[in-house]
Structure 1
Amino acid sequence: MRPEDLPPLPEAPGVYLWKDGVRILYVGKAKNLKARVNSYFHSEGKSLRIAQEATSLEFILARDEVEALLLEANLIKHHRPHYNVLLKDDKHYPFLKLTKEEWPMLLVVRRVQDDGARYWGPFPEASAVRRIKRLIDRYFLLRKNSGYPFRRRRYPCLNHAMGRCLAPCVGQADPESYHTAVKQVEDLLDGKIETLYASLEAQMREAARQQDFERAAEIRDQIAAIRSFFGTAQQAYDPEMGDLDFIGFARAGEYAMLQHYQVRGGQMLGRISRFIEGIGDASDAELLEAFLRDYYLEATPLPPLVLLPFALEVQEAFAAFLSAKGRKVEVRVPQRGEKTRLIELAQKNAQAALETELKLLERKGDHPALKGLMELLGLSRRPHRIEGYDVSNLLGESPVGSIVVFEGGRPKRSEYRRLKIRGLQGRPDDYKALEETLARRFSGSLSRQMPIPDLILIDGGLGQVRAAERGLQQAGLRLPLVGLAKREETLVLPDGRTLALPLTHPALQLLIHIRDETHRNGLTFHRKERSRKALKSIFDDIRGIGPARKRVLLQHFSSLEELRAASLEELARLPGMDRRSAQAVVRALQELPNHPASP
């Protein structure tokens, strides 16, 4: 679609729908329809793709930005457009529903309907709903078994006999007493605990005044049960904090985690988590807005304060949208004090939950980094096998090429290799060493032992990547290559382009892991070389240790630490050794500076 194909757009708030024939591609809202829609043709990425793919545009005017926000939410929920962020979640979180009838009853439901009933939720956990429902069923005498809608019965149920129902179904309930119980349930679920306590205590005093001590004792037990449940059953924060919601957000490449926490009366009620996959180039703001839209379209009752991890353009409009549902709601990003610590807690937990989800994907063989690498590097398939390469030397000596192998995002240590570099003639040259390592890996005996990788990672920048390319050319191969520059953790491509990814991106995290393993593999070789040189120099100076015994000791012990841990008897039992030569070795170890004597 071209800008000249657009219909005349007003400079007014409303909702616009990009369409491809009858299919709706994207639904958006705007304070100024004309300015917002025209901006698509001057954007990049998803916005420009939507405008180019669309064949028509429709719009609906709204009275203000708040009405546009509500209309957008309903249209997205109904049409589920391709380019809108859709939070796919197979969980329907539970609500408590108080029916609107002459004799209301309390139900656990999974959907909110426009039927005049009162709803509370969504609750993060079904177990929490069941506990609250059991408490209410035990101590508040609402009907339970006469159906919805209300139906009369011939005989009262067992709950009436147990003193847990006023039995309106057989005409035995006093309307005033029943509606007092309904009001108390509403106060309890609204978080008006002190109001409820005052009402119950007044009833208890009145029962005692009328010398109905059995009823007074029942109300006393009711108050104690409520205090016990809401005082200790949940994790408490500062009671002065009152009612609020706060949200944590974490993102890694194509994946994100949103966590919503409820605090009521200063107590944590629980959290709702949403793990989102395949988010593409959606911004953090789009993801958070989509979550707020999905959650708060039905959530009730609302707290007076909602805390966000970062600011949104629609923040004020969203606060007005929530306030229009019944009570004034403030939406803000905390800047200091206890509320900033709540957001920090939510962010930390969201990041931990995201890492857990990514590890679960990895265990299932669907490592999240592999798809990301395929898309970032333009590969034809996921790089199941990745080989990492590095070269290192010990103070300019003993250069070695280090090779590590990862399959499915996991290290395959049985195929780690080290190659001693032979073609440098005593002069350090990392580029030549890397070129030799690649050439020998893909043209020597290793080429027959190890399969061809899907991707090669080089520890270094463009110079190292070009050296690796020359090594592959010597072997007659062209394979996907990428370098990882240490300082900036930037991806370097053979054509000179660089890619900077956030440190939390799964693809970058995997490449860093491979690079660090490659480096560690080389260092392990040098530590062993250093230990063996130290051993050789020690044996050269020990009287009674000739070439044959020296060869036996070097074959049996790979490091100075192993030799130091050996006992005199163990040394004497080695082939060609005796007690006198073993004692000579122990004395030599004792004379080493800064090393304790071996036992």
Structure 2
Amino acid sequence: MHLADLPPLPEAPGVYQWWKGSSVIYVGKAKSLKARVSSYFHGEGKALTIASEADRLEFIVTRDEVEALLLEANLIKLHRPRYNVLMKDDKHYPFLKLTNEPYPILLIVRRVDNDGARYWGPFPDGGAVRRIKRLIDRIFPIRKNSGVPLKKRRYPCLNFSMGRCLAPCIGQADPAAYREMVRQVEQVLDGKVSELLGDLELKMRQAARNQDFERAAEIRDQMEAVRSFFGTVQQAYDPELGDLDFLGLARAGRYAIVQLYQVRGGQMLGRNSRFIEDVEEASDQELLWAFLRDYYLEATPLPPLVLLPSEVEDMGALSQFLSSRAGKKVEVRIPQRGDKTRLLELAEKNARTALETEMRLLERKGDHPGLVALKDVLGLSVRPYRIEGYDISNLFGESPVASITVFEGGRPKKAEYRRMKIKTDSKSPDDYLALEQAIYRRFTGSLSASMAVPDLLLIDGGLGQVRAAQKGLERAGIQIPLVGLAKREETLILPNGRSIELPLTHPALQLLIFQRDETHNNGLQFHRKLRSQKALKSVFDNIPGIGPKRKEALLAQFSTLEELKAMDAERLAKLPGMDKRSAEAVLKALSQVG
């Protein structure tokens, strides 16, 4: 593209997109669209490469730079352009959500909604967020289930009997006491641990003075649990530091890492780290900006101060954007002296250590040729490391199940294989609907909190299955690249309908075939087990002397007809709930099944 080919550009703030064919190759923002876009033809390096490669330019005028910043971030997440700096770990990290209800519940979720709830996150370490939730569930008796919004029950759950819930579901909870518990949970999640411990100590002493020693002991146990947990994850600093975030950056060759540390109430609360590849042509300013853009688009709550190791473009607009998100003034600053410069030195040191660790891990894992090839074949922005495979298995529409496999670094991770029963009201098979349901449930249900977000989805099937999977992702509000593998021709299918044919010896195709077959076999095994259990249940239905209790006892002991047939009458009679007569009746019925 040449300068003369540009459309008339206004001297106004906005966002511009360089296109090549049907793909966006770069998204940028500008105070003046005319000045910024024109500069691409007078520059050098990456800017000139982008302008030369693009065949058209589109732009959107915004009201101000803050609106341009937000639009740029959303468009980059949507298109993931090849020439933008993209975070390898830019995924839907989990958040903690305290619902907006009279009796709130704490949940692990994958996205932030404008629903009046309070959110904390994102947490890049899924294990850490689950440990925090388990701690809170254990020591604060707020409700753990009973639905969102709260659903009334006839009887309380086991948590009430264990003293871990005030049972608002049966109207047992005192509203004031529940509000106090919620306030304490918020203190923990806001990092105000010292303040919480001070409040708890006052309440413990008051309970002791009132000779309510049982209550005093409960509060003491709460305090010990909080100290024990946060004593292992926090490091004390000067309390005068207050609440702030500070960043560190390290780079080596084609790799870089950006880390953000949270200080709340003068204590280190957490760290968020992003690893970036192919950064040879990116400046420190671009790397920091990419992190800030992606992280603060969702992060909550925000501190009043953010410390950067070096200047980034449009710091004023960034400060305005953060202030609008926080609902209060947020300052972005580069400290020149004092304790805050030492924080940045600490961040840089830790970032260098983390980068060295990441590079050693890459060396240990090696570069799997299939993953290297997949990045180029599918035009992905980063090399995929974690791939999830999906397949639907059924027999004439009976007992449909979804199979999920996980490969990391080109190798099966069998501990994370999953199987899912598909809920259906229809007797006729509908693999498309089943696949859409499986994908939606995977990324919105309990698996979304317990499993990492993959870099790529592999769908066993053609264009229909691929588009059904895409629909499931859209319903879940998540964007992940996906590819289908049609069985007969072993052709790769993309959501836009494009097909890619590769020779059978191609490393990318060999890897996908391996995982596709693993996924198919995983589903078939589960499906056979379900059918066998169903057959087992039907055998027991008409056997004299085998009532509901004996039937359940037998089903608890055996999962297939073959296992039961291998028993003799004497051993079968000794099982719980059985006797010699019923054992003989069961074996006689089995002999007639064949």
Flag whether TM exceeds 0.5 (same fold): yes
What is the CA distance between 1:74 and its match in structure 2? 0.9
What is the CA distance between 1:79 and its match in structure 2? 1.7
Within 5 Å, give how 1:157-172 maps onto structure 2.
157-172=157-172
Normalising by structure 2, what TM-score?
0.57
What is the CA distance between 1:77 and its match in structure 2? 0.8
Q: Determine the C-alpha separation between the residues in 2 that align with 1:116 and 1:22.
A: 39
Aligned to 2:108: 108
C-alpha contact 1:123 1:129 (8 A) present in aligned 2? yes
Q: Determine the C-alpha separation between the residues in 1 that align with 2:51 and 2:208.
A: 74
User: 1:118 and 1:102, CA in 2 relative to 1: closer, same or farther beyond 3 A?
Assistant: same
Aligned to 2:343: 342
C-alpha contact 2:233 2:269 (8 A) present in aligned 1? no
What is the CA distance between 1:112 and its match in structure 2? 2.8
Aligned to 1:591: none
What is the CA distance between 1:63 and its match in structure 2? 2.0
Aligned to 1:135: 135
What is the CA distance between 1:324 and its match in structure 2? 1.0
Aligned to 1:180: 180
Q: Determine the C-alpha separation between the residues in 1 that align with 2:367 and 2:134.
A: 42
Within 5 Å, give how 1:538-553 maps onto structure 2.
none
C-alpha contact 2:6 2:57 (8 A) present in aligned 1? yes
Q: Determine the C-alpha separation between the residues in 1 that align with 2:260 and 2:222.
A: 31
Q: Determine the C-alpha separation between the residues in 2 that align with 1:124 and 1:363.
A: 23
Aligned to 1:39: 39
Q: Determine the C-alpha separation between the residues in 1 that align with 2:308 and 2:23.
A: 34
Q: Determine the C-alpha separation between the residues in 2 that align with 1:99 and 1:271.
A: 25
What is the CA distance between 1:214 and its match in structure 2? 3.1
Q: Determine the C-alpha separation between the residues in 2 that align with 1:182 and 1:351.
A: 39
What is the CA distance between 1:352 and its match in structure 2? 2.8
Q: Determine the C-alpha separation between the residues in 2 that align with 1:20 and 1:129.
A: 41
Normalising by structure 1, what TM-score?
0.57
What is the CA distance between 1:349 and its match in structure 2? 2.4
Aligned to 2:247: 247
C-alpha contact 2:308 2:333 (8 A) present in aligned 1? yes
Aligned to 1:96: 96
What is the CA distance between 1:116 and its match in structure 2? 3.0
- Report SS of the residue matched to 2:250: strand
- Report SS of the residue matched to 1:135: helix
Aligned residue identity for 1:250: A
User: 1:361 and 1:132, CA in 2 relative to 1: closer, same or farther beyond 3 A?
Assistant: closer
C-alpha contact 1:125 1:270 (8 A) present in aligned 2? no
Q: Does 1:28 align with 2:28?
A: yes
Note the aligned Cα RMSD (angstroms): 2.7
User: 1:24 and 1:233, CA in 2 relative to 1: closer, same or farther beyond 3 A?
Assistant: closer
Percent of aligned positions that are identical: 73
- Report SS of the residue matched to 2:40: helix
Q: Does 1:352 align with 2:368?
A: no
Aligned to 2:53: 53
User: 1:168 and 1:366, CA in 2 relative to 1: closer, same or farther beyond 3 A?
Assistant: closer
What is the CA distance between 1:156 and its match in structure 2? 0.5
C-alpha contact 1:124 1:270 (8 A) present in aligned 2? no
Aligned residue identity for 1:88: K
Q: Determine the C-alpha separation between the residues in 1 that align with 2:234 and 2:354.
A: 21
Q: Determine the C-alpha separation between the residues in 1 that align with 2:322 and 2:8.
A: 32
Aligned residue identity for 2:351: A
What is the CA distance between 1:233 and its match in structure 2? 4.9
Aligned to 1:528: none
What is the CA distance between 1:344 and its match in structure 2? 1.6
Q: Determine the C-alpha separation between the residues in 2 that align with 1:43 and 1:273.
A: 32
Deviation digits for residues 337-378 of structure 1 (CA, Å, limit 9, x no counterpart):
2222222222222223323333444445559xxx9xxxxxxx
Aligned residue identity for 1:348: K
Aligned to 2:382: none
Q: Determine the C-alpha separation between the residues in 2 that align with 1:99 and 1:120.
A: 12
Q: Determine the C-alpha separation between the residues in 1 that align with 2:229 and 2:91.
A: 26
C-alpha contact 1:29 1:68 (8 A) present in aligned 2? yes
C-alpha contact 2:286 2:312 (8 A) present in aligned 1? no
The structure with higher relative contact order (CA 8 Å, sep 6+) is 2
User: 1:224 and 1:24, CA in 2 relative to 1: closer, same or farther beyond 3 A?
Assistant: same
Aligned residue identity for 1:249: L
Deviation digits for residues 47-66 of structure 1 (CA, Å, limit 9, x no counterpart):
11222222322222222211
Aligned residue identity for 2:354: A
- Report SS of the residue matched to 1:273: strand
C-alpha contact 2:85 2:282 (8 A) present in aligned 1? yes
What is the CA distance between 1:165 and its match in structure 2? 0.7
Q: Determine the C-alpha separation between the residues in 2 that align with 1:11 and 1:229.
A: 54
Deviation digits for residues 115-141 of structure 1 (CA, Å, limit 9, x no counterpart):
332111123533433333233223322
- Report SS of the residue matched to 1:41: coil
Within 5 Å, give how 1:255-334 maps onto structure 2.
255-325=255-325, 326-334=327-335
- Report SS of the residue matched to 1:250: strand
Aligned to 1:558: none
Within 5 Å, give how 1:92-491 maps onto structure 2.
92-193=92-193, 195-197=195-197, 200=200, 212-231=212-231, 233-325=233-325, 326-364=327-365
C-alpha contact 2:90 2:274 (8 A) present in aligned 1? no
Q: Determine the C-alpha separation between the residues in 1 that align with 2:339 and 2:209.
A: 46
Q: Determine the C-alpha separation between the residues in 1 that align with 2:272 and 2:55.
A: 39
What is the CA distance between 1:213 and its match in structure 2? 4.5
User: 1:90 and 1:306, CA in 2 relative to 1: closer, same or farther beyond 3 A?
Assistant: closer
Gaps of 5+ in 2: 373-594
C-alpha contact 2:90 2:294 (8 A) present in aligned 1? no
What is the CA distance between 1:204 and its match in structure 2? 5.1
Q: Determine the C-alpha separation between the residues in 1 that align with 2:183 and 2:11.
A: 48
User: 1:197 and 1:361, CA in 2 relative to 1: closer, same or farther beyond 3 A?
Assistant: closer
Aligned residue identity for 1:252: A
Q: Determine the C-alpha separation between the residues in 2 that align with 1:207 and 1:364.
A: 57
What is the CA distance between 1:199 and its match in structure 2? 5.0
